[in-house]
Amino acid sequence: MHCVSKRQAETVLAAIAERMSEVGLRLHPDKTRIVYCKDGKRRGKFGHTSFTFLGFTFRGRKALGRNGEYFTGFLPAMSTEALKAKGDALRSMRVHRRTDLSMGDLARWLNPIVSGWMTYYGRFYRSAMFPLLQRVNAYVRRWAGKKYRRLRVYKRFKRWWAGLVERQPRLFTQWRWVPAV
């Protein structure tokens, strides 16, 4: 709920807590709090200036305005908890060990998963996802080194990788946002 003042926020919070208790529910004290949506226009110190909701952390972030100038706005981005969870999921897939798959099969297996992450978390402040997408690239590179023995030599690998990216620039979904370097 958005409120104009702290007093209004406290009143609304009390009313919501009262209504919830009428229907036999209660607000979780760790998950319910008043957060000040601090952006570049407001000064001062406040208790809570960010919150996480549905995998997004809302806080003050640098943004580009319509006039081409930067400002600080209260914006969502992928939370560090979600980033860690997706990184753990990626590690548990053990992509680099799937040498039984061809390059096309690997892409068909990974692309729907990565595309889902990009669609959900990339809606806002997509640069917060870049470390995860670069990690997907790293796993694909490790996979290639394990699958093709001749690519264990760095120079050969770089030449092969550059040729692959040039021949099939849309092979992997994450290549749309992060370079396949």
pLDDT digits over 135-145, tens only?
999 999 999 99
Q: Extract the tokens encoding 103.
A: 């390059």
| Domain identity same for 154 and 92 | yes
User: If you ran DSSP here, which 8-state letter would residue 175 be given?
Assistant: G
Domain span holding position 109: 80-176
86 and 21 assigned to the same domain: no
In a domain, 1, yes or no: no
- Under 8 Å between Cβ of 173 and 108: no
Of the candidates 78, 93, 112, which is a domain's last residue? Answer: 78
The pLDDT value recorded for residue 7 is: 87
Specify whether 95 is located in the same domain as 35.
no
Mean pLDDT computed over every residue of the chain = 89
Residues 6 or more apart whose CB falls under 8 angstroms from that of 46 comprise: 36, 38
Number of H helices, E strands in the chain: 5, 3
Both 172 and 84 in one domain: the answer is: yes
Q: For residues 27 and 17, is the Cβ–Cβ distance under 8 A? A: yes
What phi and psi, each to the nearest 5 degrees, are found at residue 33?
Answer: -160, 165
Average pLDDT, integer, range 71-91: 92
Instruction: Provide the edge-to-edge strand list for the sheet that holds 56-64.
Output: 51-53, 56-64, 70-78
Q: Is the pLDDT of residue 68 over 80?
A: yes
Query: Can you say whether the dihedral through the CA atoms of 12, 17, 19, 25 is positive or negative?
Result: positive
Local confidence band at 44 (pLDDT 50, 70, 90 cut-offs): low
The domain total for the chain is 2
Confidence of residue 2 (pLDDT cuts 50, 70, 90): confident
Whether 181 maps to a domain, the answer reads no
Q: Residue 105's pLDDT band (boundaries 50, 70, 90)? A: very high
Is pLDDT of 87 > 90?
A: yes
Are 68 and 38 contained in the same domain? yes
Are 72 and 39 in contact by the 8 Å Cβ rule? The answer is yes
**The pLDDT value given to residue 42:** 66
Percent of the chain at pLDDT exceeding 70: 97
Check whether residue 116 and residue 161 sit in a common domain: yes
How many residues comprise the chain? 181
- Predicted local confidence at residue 63, as pLDDT: 85
Distance in angstroms (rounded) separating the CA atoms of residues 151 and 158: 8
Q: Are residues 112 and 145 in the same domain?
A: yes
